[in-house]
């Protein structure tokens, strides 16, 4: 029997994979993909909660509208972020975060 | 809700999610991310959220990942050369991620609602209709703000992509 807890644990595992990717990888594009993994892990738990909270025989659609907004904002974020990465690559010819340390103390 | 669907697609999603982080070739990472999002969309559908599942495939696997692959090929990124690995940083990062997961695990385990199965759906689910109705009544203002946000993002991308940044 699959319970709410199973979905929350899977969502937590996906978030942890994304988190580890952000912490461990040094390629800025892979870091960006890991950010997407973390956003989607949050979406999974939101949808699981929406299915869990049944009213009048229907899932609570407020959470699904929220997920819809998150997906829209994430798509806009990807477009802007990749444009910034391209601009950075033009200026520095690298996507390795250890080569981009002007602001490092 | 079949538990086989859950276990199969959760396993698929987590394996390919890990492959995104582990692969050294950026293109292989991007393609693993596509399969990971397919598994995630199947999980959404196993939760009776068909509209969100379709949107996930259309927006992420369709649009976002094509953008990623486009940028990777535009920048002509190869398999990155192995650099000197800072073992303290790697072990520290893995320990922080593991501690984070253990926190989530113990919080979910002691959560009372997490042990209960999902209540059955008695009414006919009509996702697109219900979400659309909510979007244009209760959430009308956020919906319009999102529209402005997408417009601003489009203009911002055009400005950022110009050759000369002034």
Residue A74 lies inside a defined structural domain of this protein: yes
Question: For residue A58, what is the domain's CATH number?
Answer: 1.10.287.3510
- Give A-chain residues touching B142 at CB under 8 angstroms: 69
B150–chain A nearest CA distance, Å: 6
| Pairwise CA distance, residues B55 & B108, whole Å | 28
Determine if the pTM surpasses 0.95.
Answer: no
Task: Name the pLDDT band for B57 (thresholds 50, 70, 90).
Answer: very high
Residue A41 lies inside a defined structural domain of this protein: yes
Q: How far apart are the two ends of chain A, measured CA to CA in Å?
A: 52
Out of A3-7, A92-96, B75-79, B126-130, pick the least confident.
B75-79
ipTM of the modeled complex: 0.91
Q: In which element (H, E) is residue A54 found?
A: strand A54-55
Residue A13 domain boundaries: 4-99
User: Mean pLDDT for chain B?
Assistant: 89
For B3-24, how does the pLDDT look when each residue is reduced to its tens digit (9 = 90+)? 888 999 999 999 999 999 998 8
Residue A27 lies inside a defined structural domain of this protein: yes
Residue A40 lies inside a defined structural domain of this protein: yes
The closest CB to that of A24, out of B51, B94, B154, belongs to B94
| Pairwise CA distance, residues B10 & B3, whole Å | 10
Residue A48 lies inside a defined structural domain of this protein: yes
Residue A56 lies inside a defined structural domain of this protein: yes
- Chain A residue with CA closest to B63: the answer is A75
> Mean of the pLDDT values across residues B117-126?
83
Q: Tell me: domain B3-125, CATH 3.40.50.720, correct?
A: no
pLDDT at B157 over 70: yes
Domain count, chain A: 1
Residue A62 lies inside a defined structural domain of this protein: yes
Residue A104 lies inside a defined structural domain of this protein: no
Give residue limits of the domains in chain B: 3-125, 126-166
Q: What's the pLDDT at B91?
A: 93
């Amino acid at each position: 029997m699959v319970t709410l807890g199973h979905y929350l644990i899977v969502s937590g595992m996906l978030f942890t994979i994304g988190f580890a990717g952000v912490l461990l990888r040094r390629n800025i594009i892979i870091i960006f993909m890991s950010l997407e993994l973390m956003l989607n892990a949050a979406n999974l738990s939101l949808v699981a909660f929406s299915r869990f909270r049944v009213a009048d025989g229907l899932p609570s659609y407020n959470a699904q509208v929220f997920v819809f907004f998150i997906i829209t904002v994430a798509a806009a974020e990807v477009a802007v972020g990749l444009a910034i990465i391209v601009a950075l690559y033009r200026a520095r010819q690298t996507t390795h975060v250890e080569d981009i340390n002007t602001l490092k103390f | 809700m079949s538990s086989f669907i859950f276990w199969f697609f959760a396993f698929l999603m987590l394996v390919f999610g890990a492959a995104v982080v582990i692969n050294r070739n950026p293109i292989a990472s991007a393609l693993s991310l596509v399969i990971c999002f397919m598994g995630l969309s199947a999980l959404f559908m196993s939760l009776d959220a068909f509209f969100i599942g379709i949107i996930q495939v259309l927006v992420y696997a369709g649009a976002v990942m094509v953008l990623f692959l486009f940028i990777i090929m535009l920048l002509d990124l190869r398999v990155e050369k192995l650099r000197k690995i800072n073992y303290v940083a790697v072990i520290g990062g893995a320990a922080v991620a593991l501690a984070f997961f253990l926190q989530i695990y113990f919080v979910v385990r002691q959560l009372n609602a997490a042990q209960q199965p999902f209540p059955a759906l008695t009414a006919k689910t009509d996702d697109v209709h219900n979400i659309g109705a909510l979007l244009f009544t209760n959430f009308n203002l956020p919906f319009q703000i999102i529209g402005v946000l997408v417009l601003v993002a489009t203009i911002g991308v055009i400005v950022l992509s110009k050759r000369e940044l002034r």
